[in-house]
Amino acid sequence: MGPEPKGLTPGYSLGLLHISPNSAGNLNDHRGHRRFITQPLDSLVSLGRRVRVQRIGEWEAMSRGFALITGASSGIGAAFARKLARMGHGVILVARRRDRLETLAGELGKQFGVDTEVVAADLANPTDLETVEQLVRQHPNLEYLVNNAGFGTGGRFPKVALTRNLDMLRVHCEAAVRLCHAAIPDMIAAKHGAIINVSSVAGLLRVPGSAMYCSTKTFLNAFSESLSMELRNTGVKVQALCPGFTYTEFHDTPDLADTFNRSDIPSFLWLSADRVVDMSFRGLKRNQVICITGLRYKILIAILRIPWMRPLIRRASRRRQQG
Ligand SMILES: NC(=O)c1ccc[n+]([C@@H]2O[C@H](COP(=O)([O-])OP(=O)(O)OC[C@H]3O[C@@H](n4cnc5c(N)ncnc54)[C@H](OP(=O)(O)O)[C@@H]3O)[C@@H](O)[C@H]2O)c1
């Protein structure tokens, strides 16, 4: 059994509104005079805030269904699995490295007392993907779907093997599309659920040497935004999580190890996987669809998206590839 759902704060309810004891506010100013002009406005604003917070609380407290996380064997996916298990959700862990998944499942079961399931699957393999898709379609109580599995490649598009480029298309895009298609009908029927598609800030940029990575992540952003519009008022939330540089195994894979040097990136731009996951949940609470991890990345992306920054990005990437 997972922990008790978070309860409502003590107070009284008016239909959808839950008013906590101090919600009437103090009608007098510090001299004891009634604040006729500002008070109604303040009250409205604070009531609006409280209604939003209350609705968030209700959404979170609705159930403790399962969470399926792809790419759960390391990095951001493993951090999502830990967070969701801590919240009391049973977890279904998907990736290729079965040993890693089993170790994590054992830890989470022991530490949080949640149900765990391990599915060793290569999402670039159509048969494996079909198996995971069927599992999602038939699962009776899936509350979270985290499409997180992914990888990067180093070098310009024609230099990367076509099979590897197509693998990326399958793992980032096809897997997310199939699993969303399988999960959404039951989430709509339950009037509750959340889909987190782990994209990247690269999906908001155009960078030479990352043609497939930028475009597959751009797809995830557009897909998530359109889906979230379709699913408005259904109780199903969709987020495209756009992390910046995150300490994981991502840059150590054979695809990137030779071309990427962590020390080329200023230390203030690096995030931990746990921090990224916390920001994702904060964004989900606020119904943020495109969730960029932190103010520094929001500012950086806004600057890099200015059209006259493109030649600078091109030049910087050329220098990096020559260096
Ligand atoms: N780290 C960053 O700086 C960063 C920044 C922005 C976005 N992201 C995104 O965050 C997500 C997670 O990456 P990470 O940083 O946590 O890197 P990571 O530690 O390398 O984790 C990647 C995960 O994806 C799984 N995976 C890769 N290919 C797969 C396949 N064909 N089938 C099934 N699972 C596969 C890996 O598991 P197996 O190897 O066991 O299969 C692993 O669990 C990715 O979508 C990535 O694009 C990362």
DSSP annotation of 34 reads B
- In this structure, the answer to whether residues 125 and 248 fall within a common structural domain is yes
pLDDT tens-place string over residues 180-204:
999 999 999 999 999 999 999 999 9
- In this structure, the answer to whether residues 32 and 150 fall within a common structural domain is no
State if residue 101 touches ligand 1 by the CB under 6 angstroms criterion: no
Alpha-carbon distance of 82 to 107, in angstroms, equals 9
Show the domain range for 263: 64-322
- In this structure, the answer to whether residues 112 and 52 fall within a common structural domain is no
- In this structure, the answer to whether residues 140 and 44 fall within a common structural domain is no
- The set of catalytic residues is 213
CA–centroid distance, 243 to ligand 1, in Å, is 12
pTM: 0.83
Buried residues in 54-87 as b, exposed as e (16+ CB within 10 A): beebebeeeebbbbbbbbbbbbbbbbbbbbbbeb
Asked if 64 contacts 2 with a C-beta cutoff of 8 angstroms, the reply is yes
CA–centroid distance, 242 to ligand 1, in Å, is 13
pLDDT of residue 293 exceeding 50: yes
Collapsing DSSP states into helix, strand and coil, what is residue 66? strand
8-12, 160-164, 215-219: least confidently modelled range = 8-12
Q: How many domains does the chain have?
A: 2
State if residue 75 touches ligand 1 by the CB under 6 angstroms criterion: yes
State if residue 250 touches ligand 1 by the CB under 6 angstroms criterion: yes
- In this structure, the answer to whether residues 24 and 46 fall within a common structural domain is yes
| Pairing between β-strand 66-70 and β-strand 271-272 as defined by DSSP bridges | unpaired
CATH of the domain at 210: 3.40.50.720
| Contacts of residue 181, Cβ cutoff 8 Å, sequence gap at least 6 | 133
pLDDT of residue 80 exceeding 60: yes
Stretch 258-271: mean pLDDT: 90
Asked if 197 contacts 238 with a C-beta cutoff of 8 angstroms, the reply is yes
Distances (CA, A) of 183 to 18, 68, 128, 198: 31, 10, 17, 16
